């Protein structure tokens, strides 16, 4: 590689280190978009393997798949995928409690006044209902129903087998000319004059040179941290969970169209139902639960027989100080990790890949674009971080971990949002934020934070008009859900994975 290429020259050779979900998402998108302009190589090591979790997503993944011209039915068959309309939060506010955070629009507001103000005022006037009654995805979730044929249409995401998804993306990327190299990276070579990365040296002696490197090596951050020492901002003081123990089980019931997030005394547990199995895991705070306790608790709480031995995944909540440092862009777990709640990591990777494509440094790395990229990456992560902290903070549970979360000092950005909610029922949203007003409202109400008085416009409408407004929203929701089959029946017809797509249980063990 020409030394001048690292910061000033043209970028032609892109090297992706790592072939987990992040590496293959990046590889697939870059090869799809820039197949004629770039030479793209991806290095992965089967010996090291991937983190093996990350099977629940959020709706913007569908737009990304459209950009990649992915056929939905073929994709779902290939990854044994199911649909996700919401997240079911169980035992969060207190044991025995449940609320749904749906993906769809809740009700119908005006540009000045989101719907929840009208709904809150209807409660004040003695017209009882649940917020979820006004949301198609909530009502469909309650009945385990799904369809793509209703009017209005559902907003949804997917659950998929992470291993099969990487395989699916790999076949697309290779079809677009990406070169995959199997091997373990032994050394990362740097240019003497500026410290930028020059090449990866593999254990078998291969040297892979590049102009731009994408670090998708997972938590180890082989390029960004172990080589460039980028630094990490730790969010552990706000987010107590720092470990997970994961397992896969047989399905003992038809798949539900939502991720289950079930709180326990020292964290929470996920349940992600796929076509062929269930992905489960127990997320916990190591200050409040030992690995052995977590392991035993997980095996006690799962519904079906395990298909393989549980595995431990330690993590450190926070973000890499610069997502893009010199000629290294860190993606996926190498760039930071908030925690699995609300399933945002794959989304943040996709968003970063799109941003990289939009700002791609063909003519050399521009400090201004790097600064812009890093600033937007930071904002995105902080927004999601605040939303996740809210789930931990707003609880009425008795155990020490939960009591500490209630007492903790919040980031000022979240504290301001909570004041706006408590004083005037506002769930504020900046334009670029992943979680919209309806998401904040669902969780704020679900976790039991009392709102202040609703917007004066909602208070101004008379009783009869308010009743009509609510009925006009609720009726089409009820009609649409009444016409929906169960998710299991819909999958059978639409995207049933053929036998043999997934490894048999014995091969997984
Ligand atoms: C407990 C848990 C649950 C999660 N649940 C969700 C979820 O539901 N939804 C969601 O969106 N996200 C979730 N995530 C995050 C999600 O798992 C990741 O975003 C996603 O899997 C991407 O991981 P990755 O590709 O960055 O890293 P990895 O999967 O760890 O991949 C790293 C790659 O780098 C390679 N590699 C590393 N070192 C070397 C080397 N020296 N030489 C060659 N290759 C190397 C490895 O072989 C591998 O291919 C979860 C994370 C955790 C920890």
Reference 74, options 363, 496, 499; nearest CA is 496
* Residue 7: predicted pLDDT: 44
**Are 390 and 441 spatial neighbours (Cβ–Cβ below 8 Å)?**
no
**Are 239 and 286 spatial neighbours (Cβ–Cβ below 8 Å)?**
no
Please list every protein residue whose CB sits less than 6 Å from any atom of ligand 1. Answer: 18-23, 43-45, 48-51, 53-57, 162, 184-185, 216-218, 220, 222, 244, 246, 281, 313, 315, 332-334, 340, 343-346, 349
Q: Rounded to 10 degrees, what is the CA torsion of 223, 225, 229, 230?
A: 100
- CA nearest ligand 1 atom 50, residue: 54
Q: How confident is the model at residue 430 (pLDDT cuts 50, 70, 90)?
A: confident
Summarize pLDDT for 51-76 with one digit per residue, the tens: 999 999 999 999 999 999 999 999 99
Mean pLDDT of 277-301: 98
Atom of ligand 1 at shortest range from CA of 22: 25
Phi first, then psi, for residue 242 (nearest 5°) are: -140, 10
* Residue 111: predicted pLDDT: 87
* Residue 2: predicted pLDDT: 38
DSSP 329-350: EE-GGGGEE--STT--HHHHHH
* Residue 344: predicted pLDDT: 98
Place of tokens 């669902």: 442
Q: How far is CA 495 from CA 79, 277, 490, in A?
A: 10, 16, 8
Alpha carbon distance 487, 409 (integer Å): 42
What's the CA-to-centroid distance between 333 and ligand 1, angstroms?
A: 6
87 pLDDT above the threshold of 80: yes
Helices and strands of the chain, counted as H and E runs:
16, 21
Mean pLDDT of 344-367: 97
Mean pLDDT of 351-374: 97
Q: How confident is the model at residue 499 (pLDDT cuts 50, 70, 90)?
A: confident
490 pLDDT above the threshold of 50: yes
Alpha carbon distance 350, 339 (integer Å): 17
Instruction: Give the burial class of 500: count Cβ atoms within 10 A of its Cβ; 0-12 exposed, 13-18 middle, 19 or more buried.
Output: exposed
Atom of ligand 1 at shortest range from CA of 186: 41
Q: Please report which helix (H) or strand (E) contains residue 200, including its range.
A: strand 197-202
505 pLDDT above the threshold of 70: no
* Residue 429: predicted pLDDT: 81
* Residue 509: predicted pLDDT: 36
CA 192 to chain centre: 38
DSSP state of 201: E
Structure tokens at 250: 């047989």
500 pLDDT above the threshold of 80: no
Alpha carbon distance 272, 258 (integer Å): 8
Second-level CATH architecture of 3-55+161-233+320-382: 3-Layer(bba) Sandwich (3.50)
Place of tokens 């299991």: 488
Helix runs in 264-366, H state only: 291-301, 345-358
Pocket test for ligand 1, best of 29, 50, 208, 353 (most atoms within 8 A of CB): 50
12 pLDDT above the threshold of 70: yes
Q: What is the mean pLDDT of the chain?
A: 95
Instruction: Give the burial class of 17: count Cβ atoms within 10 A of its Cβ; 0-12 exposed, 13-18 middle, 19 or more buried.
Output: buried
501 pLDDT above the threshold of 80: no
Helix runs in 55-126, H state only: 61-67, 72-79, 115-124
* Residue 9: predicted pLDDT: 76
351 pLDDT above the threshold of 50: yes
* Residue 506: predicted pLDDT: 42
- In this structure, of 80-94, 133-147, 364-378, 425-439, the range with the lowest mean pLDDT score is 425-439
Catalytic residue annotation: 84
Q: How confident is the model at residue 503 (pLDDT cuts 50, 70, 90)?
A: low
Mean pLDDT of 352-381: 97
What's the CA-to-centroid distance between 332 and ligand 1, angstroms?
A: 7
Alpha carbon distance 69, 401 (integer Å): 45
Summarize pLDDT for 441-464 with one digit per residue, the tens: 999 999 999 999 999 999 999 999
* CA Rg value for the chain: 23
- CA nearest ligand 1 atom 37, residue: 217
* Residue 507: predicted pLDDT: 43
Reference 142, options 107, 102, 93, 82; nearest CA is 102
Domain boundaries, the chain: 3-55+161-233+320-382, 104-154+391-487
Mean pLDDT of 208-236: 98
Pocket test for ligand 1, best of 23, 51, 52, 199 (most atoms within 8 A of CB): 51
Alpha carbon distance 69, 59 (integer Å): 16
% of the chain residues with pLDDT over 70: 97
């Amino acid at each position: 590689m020409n030394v001048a290429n690292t910061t000033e020259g043209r970028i032609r050779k892109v090297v992706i280190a790592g072939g987990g979900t992040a590496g293959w998402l990046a590889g697939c998108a870059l090869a799809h978009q820039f197949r004629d302009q770039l030479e793209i190589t991806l290095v992965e090591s089967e010996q090291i393997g991937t983190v093996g979790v990350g099977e629940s997503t959020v709706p913007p993944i569908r737009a990304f798949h459209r950009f990649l011209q992915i056929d939905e039915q073929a994709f779902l068959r290939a990854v044994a995928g199911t649909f996700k309309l919401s997240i079911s939060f169980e035992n969060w506010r207190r044991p025995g409690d449940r609320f749904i955070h749906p993906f769809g629009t809740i009700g119908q507001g005006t540009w000045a006044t989101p719907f929840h103000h009208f709904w809150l005022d209807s409660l004040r006037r003695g017209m009882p209902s649940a917020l979820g009654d006004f949301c198609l995805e909530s009502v469909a979730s309650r009945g385990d129903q799904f369809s793509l044929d209703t009017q209005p249409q559902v907003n949804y995401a997917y659950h998929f087998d992470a291993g099969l998804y990487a395989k699916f993306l790999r076949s697309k990327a290779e079809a677009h000319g990406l070169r995959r190299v199997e091997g373990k990276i032994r050394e990362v070579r740097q240019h003497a004059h500026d410290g930028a990365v020059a090449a990866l040296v593999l254990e078998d002696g291969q040297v892979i040179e590049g102009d731009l490197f994408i670090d998708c090596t997972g938590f180890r951050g082989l390029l960004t941290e172990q080589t460039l020492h980028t630094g990490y901002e730790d969010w552990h003081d706000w987010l107590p969970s720092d470990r997970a123990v994961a397992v896969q089980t047989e399905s003992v019931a038809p798949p539900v169209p939502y991720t289950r997030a079930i709180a326990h005394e020292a964290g929470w547990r996920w349940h992600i139902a796929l076509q062929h199995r269930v992905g489960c895991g127990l997320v916990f705070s190591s200050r409040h639960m030992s690995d052995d306790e977590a392991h035993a608790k997980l095996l006690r709480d799962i519904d079906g027989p395990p298909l393989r031995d549980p595995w431990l995944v330690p993590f450190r909540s926070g973000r890499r100080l610069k997502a893009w440092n010199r000629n290294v862009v860190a993606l996926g777990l190498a760039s930071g990790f908030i925690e699995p709640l609300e399933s945002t990591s794959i989304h943040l990777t996709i968003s970063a890949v799109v941003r990289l494509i939009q700002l791609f440094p063909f003519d050399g790395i521009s400090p201004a674009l790097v600064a812009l990229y890093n600033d937007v990456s930071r904002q995105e992560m902080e927004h999601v971080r605040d939303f996740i902290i809210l789930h931990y903070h707003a609880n009425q549970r008795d155990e020490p971990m939960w009591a500490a979360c209630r007492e903790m000092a919040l980031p000022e950005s979240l504290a301001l949002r909570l004041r706006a909610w408590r004083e005037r029922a506002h769930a504020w949203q900046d334009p670029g934020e992943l979680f919209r007003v309806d998401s904040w409202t669902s969780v704020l109400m679900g976790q039991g934070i009392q709102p202040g008085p609703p917007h004066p416009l909602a208070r101004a409408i008379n009783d009869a008009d308010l009743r009509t407004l609510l009925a006009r929203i609720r009726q089409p929701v009820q009609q649409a859900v009444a016409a929906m089959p169960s998710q299991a029946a819909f999958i059978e017809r639409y995207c049933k994975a053929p036998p043999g797509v997934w490894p048999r249980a014995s091969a997984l063990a």
